[in-house]
Amino acid sequence: MCSATSETQLTRHDDVAVGEARSLPSNGRLSRQRVAHTVVLLGAIAAFGGVAAQLLSLGMTPRPVMALAAAEPIATSYSRPDIIDRNGRLLATDLEAPSLFADPAMVLDRDEVVEKLATVLPELNQADLRHQLLDKNRRFVWIARGLSPAVAQRVHNLGLPGLAFRGELRRAYPAGMLAGHVLGAVNIDNKGVSGIEKYIDDDVGVDAVHSARLSTRAPVRLSLDIGVQHALEDELDTAISRFHTTGAAGLVLDIKTGEVLASASFPRVDPGRPSGQPDTAVLDKISASTFELGSVFKTLTIAMALDEGIAKPSSMYDVRTPLQAGRYTISDFHSAGRPLSVAEIFTHSSNVGTGMLALQAGPQRMKGFLDKLGLLGSMKTETGAISAPQLPRAWERAELITTSYGHGIAVAPLQFAAASASLFNGHGRLVPTFLRTDGAAHDRQIVVTAETSRQMARLFRSNVIDQDGTGERADVVGYRVGGKTGTADLAGSGGYKAKSVISSFLAAFPMDAPRYMTFVLLFEPNGTAETGGQRTASTNAAPVTARLITRIAPQLGVVPVLIAATQ
């Protein structure tokens, strides 16, 4: 019994021992797993803690700020102030426009991108773009800048990877080509390169921007009047068609202030589409070119004779005999066949008569008077430097005679108009400006006496209303127009062009109190049925002036006065 019991107990103890032995290995593995998890967790915490500590250290350490990503070019665009006319009407402004660029590293199929873009952007340089996209190390390539929203949408619809848009400022001109030469142009970076736009960069100020941020600067107010400018351009455009000219130019000037109310030159230029290259065909004929203006120059010669006391309007000169100057003979286009007074020399436009007055004055007084008018030196306006006058190399007898009636001396029309306006303003030498002023004249240097101004005003008016005057077709009922015609041979390479002239008409109104001056020039007009086959200024430039004044006088507030011509 004892032995059986002992065996049974032993077996039970063995079972217990075996069970305990079986349970111990399982508990050991669980413990090791918990330890491993704890170690991993602590390691992760330590790693993130290290990263956080490093980021905190970097954040607290002063370092240079990177304004742009390395993949983008540094912005060179400029934010510009608006340009408005004298009455506040908008002429130029900045708008946000989408510009297209590519990331070569993101472009999947270079040929596909180029070919599909060419269908939307026909001016795209495909070979150049292929070459630029070939370099995968480049992360930014300009493709097209300043796109219209419609074109940008068409590019977007292509769905090409690697292309994107960036907003930039682009200059917009709501009036289109109106006053294009005056306004000038900007380059691809919105920086002014000519005209008023360049003046803004040089004198007003622009702001460098890295995005399409509009300017907060005050608008630049010009002296131009959009209504007057439109009338001038419209009449010149019509004149080109009517008289089959190769070009035309004109301006409207405030005699009292020197403000240019309108200035136009044909062919016109589009400020929104600058060519980028100088083109002599579209140079501004008003400021950037010089011409021998012909008989309109007699205005200055007559004024010089009157102001210097050489003659009076009633002084008589025998103009029947042509003047000799070396191998040259100077005669009148239409000889009166009798002696003429100074007033008649002006209205008959006598070359011989003005030549005699210049010879009587002599070179020193003639040059001194022209210099006093500001006609022999350089001149500059807000649109840039005016083309320098081309003067005679010597002031001998021949040069003195020809200069008296506008040959042998070439000046810019704006400079000539300013000099002529100085004869009537009662203040002094006029300095033209394209900015609206406070109404004061710019230069108080007295040019002629008040009596000379009155005498010249009467001569201007007589030339329009007298039967023998050359400006009869420039008259406008009620507005008391006065003026002088000019028909000059057009200079070319090596001499004068055969049968080519510049016809012009210099006018002022109202002549009882001169306030506004117009100057119309037609280049190489042809004779028509309307002009009786003539190319002279009295048949083309004069009637163009009449139509122009009819349109602009009411806009300028000139009240028509109906009086008899004899008064």
User: What is d(CA 385, CA 199) in angstroms, rounded to the nearest whole number?
Assistant: 11
Cα separation values, 490 from 185, 243, 496, 525, 547, Å: 30, 16, 6, 11, 25
* Whether the bond into 174 is cis, omega within 30 of 0: no
Q: Return the pLDDT at 71.
A: 46
**pLDDT tens track for 365-381:** 999 999 999 999 999 99
Share of the chain above pLDDT 70, in %: 84
Task: Give the range among 10-24, 27-41, 341-355, 553-567 with minimum mean pLDDT.
Answer: 10-24
Confidence of residue 140 (pLDDT cuts 50, 70, 90): very high
Amino acid identity of residue 163, one-letter, is L
CA 265, distance to chain mean position in Å, is 12
**CA-CA-CA-CA torsion sign (23, 29, 34, 35):** positive
Could you give the CA distance from residue 335 to residue 200 in angstroms, rounded to a whole number? 52
H/E/C letters for each residue in 539-566? CCHHHHHHHHHHHHHHHCCCCCCCCCCC
* CB 126 within 8 Å of CB 112: no
Say if residue 5's pLDDT is above 50.
no
- Average predicted confidence (pLDDT) for the chain: 88
In a 3-state reduction of DSSP, which class is residue 192? Answer: strand
Residue among 295, 420, 453, 462 flagged as catalytic = 295
Positive or negative, the Cα torsion across 156, 159, 160, 165? Answer: positive
Task: Give residue 349's pLDDT.
Answer: 95
Q: How far is CA 482 from CA 67, 426, 459, 506, in A?
A: 64, 17, 8, 8
Tell me the C-alpha distance between 20 and 458, whole Å. 138
The candidate with the shortest Cα–Cα distance to 182, out of 47, 330, 284, 292, is 284
Q: What is the pTM of this model?
A: 0.83
Strands 141-144 and 260-266: unpaired
Q: Which two three-digit tokens encode residue 476?
A: 């406008």
Cα–Cα distance measured from residue 232 to residue 251, given in angstroms and rounded to the nearest whole number:
7
Please indicate whether residue 71 or residue 101 has the higher confidence score (pLDDT): 101
Which band of pLDDT confidence, cut at 50, 70 and 90, is reported for residue 350?
Answer: very high
* CATH architecture of residue range(s) 226-555: 3-Layer(aba) Sandwich (3.40)
Nearest to 284 by CA among 187, 170, 185: 185
308: closest CA among 361, 352, 358?
361
The confidence score (pLDDT) of residue 211 equals 84
Q: What is the pLDDT of residue 59?
A: 58
CA distance linking residue 342 with residue 463, whole number of Å: 12
pLDDT band at 497 (very low <50, low <70, confident <90, very high): confident
> How many whole angstroms separate alpha carbon 170 and alpha carbon 186?
9
Q: Is the model's pLDDT at 9 over the cut of 80?
A: no
Residue 443: what pLDDT? Answer: 58
- The yes-or-no verdict on residue 37 having pLDDT over 50 is yes
The pLDDT of residue 341 is 97
In this structure, the chain runs to a length of 567
According to the model, what pLDDT value does residue 12 have? 42
pLDDT digits (tens, 9 = 90+) for 198-225: 999 999 999 999 888 999 999 999 999 9
- Catalytic residue status for 538: no
Is the confidence at residue 19, as pLDDT, over 70? no
Q: Per-residue pLDDT tens for 288-316?
A: 999 999 999 999 999 999 999 999 999 99
Which segments of 87-179 does DSSP mark as H helices, in order?
Answer: 110-120, 126-134, 149-157
- Asked whether the beta carbons of 446 and 307 are under 8 A apart, the reply is no
State yes or no: pLDDT of 2 exceeds 50: no
Question: Is residue 464 pLDDT above 90, yes or no?
Answer: yes
Domain formed by 77-106+141-221, architecture: Alpha-Beta Complex (3.90)
Burial 150-174 (b: 16+ CB within 10 A, else e): ebbeebeeeebebbebeebbbbebe
Q: Taking a C-beta distance cutoff of 8 angstroms, is the pair 431, 258 a contact?
A: yes
Q: Categorize the per-residue pLDDT at 335 as very low, low, confident or very high, splitting at 50, 70 and 90.
A: confident
pLDDT tens for each residue of 536-551:
999 999 999 999 999 9
Give the 3-state DSSP-derived string for 235-249, with helices as H, strands as E and coil as C: HHHHHHHHHCCCEEE
Predicted local distance difference test score (pLDDT) of residue 63:
46
Compute the radius of gyration of the chain from its Cα atoms: 41
**Predicted confidence (pLDDT) at residue 457 exceeds the cutoff of 70:** yes
Give CA–CA dist 287/250, Å, rounded: 11
pLDDT tier, 21 (very low <50, low <70, confident <90, very high otherwise): very low
Tokens 């209504």, residue located = 227
Least confident of 50-59, 122-131, 184-193, 369-378: 50-59
Instruction: Give pLDDT tens digits for 231-267.
Output: 999 999 999 999 999 999 999 999 999 999 999 999 9
Q: Which of 501, 454, 448 is nearest to 482 (CA)?
A: 454
Site of tokens 């000379």: 452
Residue with tokens 């139509």, as numbered in its chain = 547
Domain with CATH 3.90.1310.10 in the chain: 77-106+141-221
- The label of the residue with tokens 């240097």 reads 445
pLDDT digits (tens, 9 = 90+) for 176-191: 999 999 999 999 999 9
Q: Which of 36-40, 297-301, 461-465 is the least confident region?
A: 36-40
DSSP label of 424: T
**DSSP letter for each residue of 74-103:** PP-EEE---EE-TTS-EEEEEEEEEEEEE-
Could you tell me which of 347, 349, 362, 388 has the C-alpha nearest to residue 304? 362
Enumerate the β-bridge partners of residue 94.
171
Q: How confident is the model at residue 29 (pLDDT cuts 50, 70, 90)?
A: low
Residues of the chain with CATH 3.40.710.10: 226-555
